[in-house]
Amino acid sequence: MRIFVTGATGFIGSHFVRAALAAGHTVTALRRGPDSRPVIALDEDQPGSQLTWIDGGLGDVATHHLKNHDALVHLAAAGVKPGAAQWKECFEVNVSQSLNFWLRAADAGVGKFLICGSCFEYGRAADRYDLIPADAPLEPTGPYHASKAAASMAAHGLGVQRKLQLAILRPFHVFGEGESADRLWPSLRRAAERGEDFPMTLGEQVRDFIPVGDIAEAFLRCLGQELTPGVPLVANLGTGKPQTLCDFAGHWWKAWGATGSLLLGQVPYRADEVMRYVPELS
């Protein structure tokens, strides 16, 4: 299969590209420029590599770049880091630029669209469910969350109107190699390796933590599924094994042989903290 991938140098994107190449697919990947390196090694310089880079942003990809591709995997997004999320940028990139890009892909005859959504689209609605169904109301609480929800609605409408094979996949709490250094799992590991204590909240939040490699494989599996044209699939991605942040941190703290202590309750909960974010899986 020939796949066009956006966000290919990012956390999920680089893992997906590596998995797709290992599965024998041909990948055309979008990056900002030659200096934009994937967050994990892709072995792209190996003889026989089926990876081609295109440099630029979403707006720089022309229809002719997208022709002769079997599928589009859209992983690009702005505002993923909470502190960096700005309303105008999130909606410009995640909604306007993305929609225009999808329209060009549809015009180019791309047969299948996989759009990466976010569990944070559910926002406050998560408080009302033990297991959040994929058709739960979207009640986002910030610029990134709201822009991803708006993008999902735009993709859904486009899929219906153009009768596309289209899936919107919403990963829950993804972790692993290449994750931004300020996130929980990398921060835990850094403290463990340095023999430092790790201050955190009481850790009562319940989450479904899923390894990034599993997310990459889930996208690959979906590429192999026959989707009904004009009937978009919306699905949550998780493990089905919810746990508290305290238990998650404790597991990895022990696995890394940390000599410091987890300092529970030293960090306050966020003002908009959602205490339970657990998906219903199908």
pLDDT over threshold 80, residue 280 = yes
CA dist 279 and 132 (Å) reads 5
Give me the pLDDT at residue 46, please.
60
* DSSP label at residue 40: S
Question: What is the reported pLDDT for 84?
Answer: 72
Packing angle of the helix pair 212-223, 11-22 (nearest 10 deg): 50
Residues 200-207 have a mean pLDDT of 97
Q: How much of the chain, in percent, has pLDDT values that exceed 70? A: 98
| pLDDT, position 80 | 87
pLDDT tier at 47, thresholds 50, 70, 90: low
- For residues 250 and 228, what is the distance between their CA atoms, to the nearest angstrom? 43
* pLDDT tier at 45, thresholds 50, 70, 90: low
Q: pLDDT averaged over the chain? A: 95
The whole-number pLDDT of residue 48 equals 62
Q: What pLDDT shows up at residue 82?
A: 64
Domains and CATH numbers, the chain: 2-175+209-237 (3.40.50.720), 184-206+241-277 (3.90.25.10)
* Residues 6 or more apart in contact with residue 169 via CB below 8 angstroms: 114, 115, 116, 117, 218, 219, 222, 235, 237
Asked if residue 260 has pLDDT above 70, the reply is yes
Q: What does the pLDDT read at residue 149?
A: 98
pLDDT at 53: 95
171 vs 64, 153, 177, 257, 280, CA distance in Å? 31, 17, 16, 29, 12
The distance of Cα 158 from the centroid of its chain, to the nearest Å, equals 20
**Nearest to 75, CA basis, from 33, 140, 29, 111:** 29
**147-173 mean pLDDT:** 98
The pTM of this model reads: 0.95
Q: Is 214 exposed, middle or buried (0-12, 13-18, 19+ CB in 10 A)?
A: middle
Cα separation of 200 and 25, whole Å? 42
pLDDT of residue 282: 79
Is the pLDDT at 12 greater than 70? The verdict is yes
pLDDT digits (tens, 9 = 90+) for 104-135: 999 999 999 999 999 999 999 999 999 999 99
- Each residue's pLDDT tens digit, 49-107: 799 999 999 999 999 999 999 999 999 999 987 667 899 999 999 999 999 999 999 99
- Per-residue pLDDT at 234 exceeds 90: yes
Q: What is the mean predicted confidence (pLDDT) over 223-252?
A: 97
255 Cβ contact partners less than 8 Å away, ≥ 6 residues apart: none
Residues 216-231 pLDDT 10s? 999 999 999 999 999 9
Q: Percent of the chain, pLDDT > 90?
A: 91
